[in-house]
Amino acid sequence: MFKDVIGEWPMYDEFILTSCDEEYFNKYFPRFYKTFTEKWQLPIHVHVVNPSVHSLQRLEKLGVSHTHCETNDSILKWPYSYVTYCQAQRFILLGHKLQDNQHVIVADVDSYALKEPNESQRQHLVKDMAFTTYNGRLMATFCHFHPSRRKQALGAAEQMTDAIQNTDVVGIDQKVIKQFFSGLPYTELTSGEWIRHLDVKTEQDKAEHLQCLVYHEKGCRGKEKGSQVQWTDIGL
């Protein structure tokens, strides 16, 4: 699965990694790109599953580091295989390619940056593996991978690859991250400061989400709202 990746892994010391399919790329990546580059001022690498030629051309014009892959029938033999495959791709790629000097911030493509982290927050994020938690689970939505955990990152990538090929499990990225990292030291990113893992059902919910550094709405309701940032807003 990893050998099918097309494109080059970036050599940045610190960057933001996301992955998505063609649909989510067109729907959410403009907002992701605009907000994280403006607020966090870090380079981005995006991995796209089944991209169109037009999408790859857009990334070239933006100068965004990117890789891509195509799915095949052997991957899609389970009902939820495509969803699982897309969810796991960033961690599979990261596990195989993380370098010994790299700090990689992983974020869902339908999340976006609200605020610029201050220096203290930046140092807190990158000093070790870092996760937010929700109901006792380490969350894959937004996290930091530290170069000292390359061995565990590769093990997680291999476990995800095996699961995708042999089982029908939604959220395999979440399950494997818990398996490999919950027993190791990590920095906990405070919910409410960094990101909230809840639906936005009321105005109070929205107000609390807007206090975070990164905005993300859990569940389908948030995804159905889409993004108000268009390709024209980032110069395309």
Residues forming beta bridges with residue 45, ordered by sequence position: 17, 65
* Average pLDDT score, the chain: 89
- Domains within the chain, CATH numbers bracketed: 2-234 (3.90.550.10)
Q: Looking at residue 75, what is its pLDDT?
A: 62
- Taking the whole predicted model, whether its pTM rises above 0.95 is answered as no
Amino acid in the structure at residue 94: L
Q: Looking at residue 205, what is its pLDDT?
A: 83
Q: Which stretch of DSSP H or E encloses residue 154?
A: helix 150-166
Instruction: Compute the distance between CA of residue 88 and CA of residue 2 in angstroms, rounded to an integer.
Output: 11
State what percent of residues in the chain have pLDDT above 70: 90
Instruction: Compute the distance between CA of residue 75 and CA of residue 85 in angstroms, rounded to an integer.
Output: 8
| Mean pLDDT of the region 86-97 | 93
